[in-house]
Amino acid sequence: MGKKKQAQRTKNNVVPASSGRSAELLQSTSSVPFVGFSALKEGGYIPILSGISDELDFNINEDFRLVWKKMNKKDTTTKLKALEEFKKLCQDSDVEALKPVLPYWPRLFCVLSTDEQHRVREAVHAAHKALVGKAGRNIAPYLKQLVGPWFTGQHDTYPPAASAAESAFQEAFPPNKLIEAIVFCQEDILNYIGNNLLNQTPQTLTNNQNCNQEVKDARYQRVVISCLNGYALYLQRLPVEHLRKAEEANRKLVNAAKFWKFSKDPAPLIRAAWFTALVALCEKAPFLLAEEAKHICSAVFNNMDETEPAVVRSVWQAVLLSFNVVEDVWKYVSLEKLVLPKLWKVLREGADGNASLVFPNLLPLLSKISPSLLQDKILFYSKFFENLRTGLKARNVQISAKEASAVVAAFLECLRYIVSMNCEEEKICLSLLEEQVFLLLDCVMSDSKLQLARSGLFSGLASLVNHWSLQASQPPGLYNTLATSFWCRLADICSAALETHSTDPSTLTTNCASLESLLTSFKNPDAQPRKHFKVKFVSPRKSVEEIEEPTSPITEPSNLAPSFGEELNKLVYKQLNVCFNLMDSCGDRARVILVGHLARVLEEYNSPDVFSHVLSISQLSWGEFYQQRLAQWLRDNNIPLDYSLRVIFSLHHLRLERVREGRI
């Protein structure tokens, strides 16, 4: 009956290969599945299954064959649909049906995991997770072929793709088996990373020679970034003893000249990934860098003025770690010719918007610069703080509270350190106080553009001066001298802030706000500032600039030096003197500002002694003071009623306190 069924033909009449033959074919090739195509001489798109499509095992389900054909297409949409279908097939198939599929998957996975389309990369890792989850231990014979792009895929530049790769890795290896798996595959991981970093180029990494150079470059950059970050991950995950066992393989990469050239790559993300890898080397495997001192110092210190936010953090981590890895850093780089010019630039420009990342590293760096290296120690300190002050005026710092706080914190931390290191040289320390600290304080108090720096500066200064006051009894007496000089000069600055600008309402308003913030910070030296969040209604009798409330502190117990409290009270009393004296001679607009200022100061400093001091200023009794001063303010239509009432209630409360104490 009928014609005898003819055997299925294959291209060129080649006999179909068995699954064993296919597996043998894959295993006979390099154990590292490189994604480059440099062996191809002619251009054009290279099908993913090129070279093995004729070897497909006929035990493979026809649905898988059809899906693979779709994956082989150039069109992105077709690939995505195919990967989704493949994922579902893996989920719906039993293990036996998947076994014939496994030998062919590494080739597909290795190419698609570096596809130029980010959605394809995400989809292939999701499909891989489904396959791994169902195949289980059966994936083991192919692990070494898959692990390179799989491991580095956890640092894909497209976060969803990276998450998908990481999820697949976690699906395959529980936490207690993860290190064991990396150790088992570390040779293959290192070979894959090393090949892509040292041998591949934008031309060799593409399977479509007809695409434009921009696409080739983008693919190359993605692979390099994932490999560098993957290398950092490898170093961070493995214990040192396992890294030492693979020392030779690691050195092939670390000792290569091309590896160090990535520190100067034009692409910021490549530089960021390279410095991340260098940091991991410094922290986990410094023995691999024993012969690379010159390379380390050159790469790190030439990039000190890096401005890309993605790169800055790891660069400065590497700067500090280089001192731990290299025995004598200054043997390989010039402090005067290379490091300081770049450092001054960073300080002057406020780290170009990266102060919060860079400036916390200034104190550790300063501790590595021995005074013996400096030609002129005083000049060095002067330039250091002058450039910091200039950096505070940088546009990126002025508009960001975080950046401004970072600059101010670095200034005060470094000042405190330098004073402690030069406690035998009083002249240097007093010079820094006068020429650097007070210049900064005066500038911040008077310049409204620097208002975001006020809270951090005032609270930091309060903490610093309280520290000096606590140390005042310690020899050689420097801290007592510094604290005394500070309070004297501060009183003059605060008085001048009101007296010299009483005819300029705008500047007077700014200075009053600064003084209130300063006095609040000094009342609680160890407190953290917190903003008031409340609704305010503007009275027709006052402008917006007069209703701004100062920040209040989160009060915490502090070790307050007795002399600090005494000097602070003197400062408050002097401010009250200046305030009342100016009211007798200033104009109506300035009087309004001063009454508001007085109200806020009295509410903050509500000691009964303040009441006595206020009366002593005018040499009047309470009744006389009320009639001649306070009642007049109530009748003055220019002065907001709440200002006058707040002053009256504050003083009345203080008077009652004195009555209860039996002091009246």
Scan for tokens 């999701």, then name that residue.
126
Task: Identify whether 565 is part of a domain.
Answer: yes
Is 247 contained in some domain?
A: no
Q: Are residues 467 and 579 in the same domain?
A: yes
Q: Are residues 476 and 418 in the same domain?
A: no
pLDDT of residue 36: 37
Average pLDDT taken over every residue of the chain: 85
Residue range 559-578, pLDDT digits in tens: 888 999 999 999 999 998 89
Pair 521, 657 in one domain: no
Residue 496 predicted with pLDDT over 60: yes
Q: Residue 525 — pLDDT band, cuts 50, 70, 90?
A: confident
Q: Is residue 376 helix, strand or coil? A: coil
Position 36: which residue type? G
Q: Work out the end-to-end distance of the chain between its first and last CA atoms, rounded to an integer number of angstroms.
A: 130
Shared domain for 621 and 597, answered yes or no, is no
Q: Does residue 401 sit in the same domain as residue 516?
A: no
Is residue 350 assigned to a domain? yes
Nearest CA to 325 out of 364, 366, 278 is that of: 278
Closest listed residue to residue 284, CA positions, set 247, 249, 238, 231: 238
Residue 320 lies in a domain: no
| Same structural domain, 572 and 485 | yes
Q: Tell me which long-range contacts 498-504 makes (C-beta under 8 A, separation of at least 24).
A: 498/575, 498/578, 498/579, 498/582, 498/594, 499/578, 499/582, 502/582, 502/585, 502/586, 502/587, 502/590, 503/586, 503/587, 503/590
Tell me the pLDDT band of 528, cut-offs 50, 70 and 90: low
Residue 29 pLDDT exceeds 90? no
- Domain span including residue 640: 606-663
Single-letter residue type at 387? N
* Residue 166: per-residue pLDDT: 96
Query: Quick check: 648 and 630 in contact, CB under 8 A?
Result: yes
Instruction: Decide if 232 is inside a domain.
Output: no
Specify if 617 maps to a domain. yes
555 falls within a domain: no
Which tens digit of pLDDT belongs to each residue from 83-135? 999 999 999 999 999 999 999 999 999 999 999 999 999 999 999 999 999 99
Whether the per-residue pLDDT at 553 is higher than 60: the answer is no
Domain tally for the chain?
A: 3
3-state secondary structure of 255: coil
Beta bridge partners of 208: 45
State whether residue 552 is helix, strand or coil: strand
- Separation between Cα atoms, residue 223 and residue 63, nearest integer Å: 31
Domain match, 355 and 387 both: yes
Q: Do 597 and 449 share a structural domain?
A: yes
Residues 338 and 415 in one domain: yes
* 575 shares its domain with 470: yes
Residue 310 · residue 269 · CB < 8 Å: yes
The answer to whether the beta carbons of residues 441 and 457 sit under 8 Å apart is yes
Closest CA to 287 of 246, 237, 231: 246
Could you give the C-alpha distances from 312 to 227, 316, 397, 408, 576, in angstroms and in order? Answer: 20, 6, 16, 19, 47
615 burial via Cβ count (<10 Å: 0-12, 13-18, 19+): middle
Task: Note whether 381 and 432 are within 8 A (CB).
Answer: yes
User: In this model, does residue 43 exceed pLDDT 50?
Assistant: no
Do 498 and 644 lie in a common domain? no
Give domain status of residue 511, yes or no: yes
Q: pLDDT band for position 186 (50/70/90)? A: very high
Task: Kindly indicate the confidence band of residue 530, based on its pLDDT and cuts at 50, 70 and 90.
Answer: very low
Q: Are 454 and 578 part of one and the same domain?
A: yes
Contact assessment for residue 509 and residue 545, using Cβ atoms and an 8 Å cutoff: yes
Q: Can you read off the two tokens belonging to residue 272?
A: 């960021």
Indicate whether 490 pLDDT > 60: yes
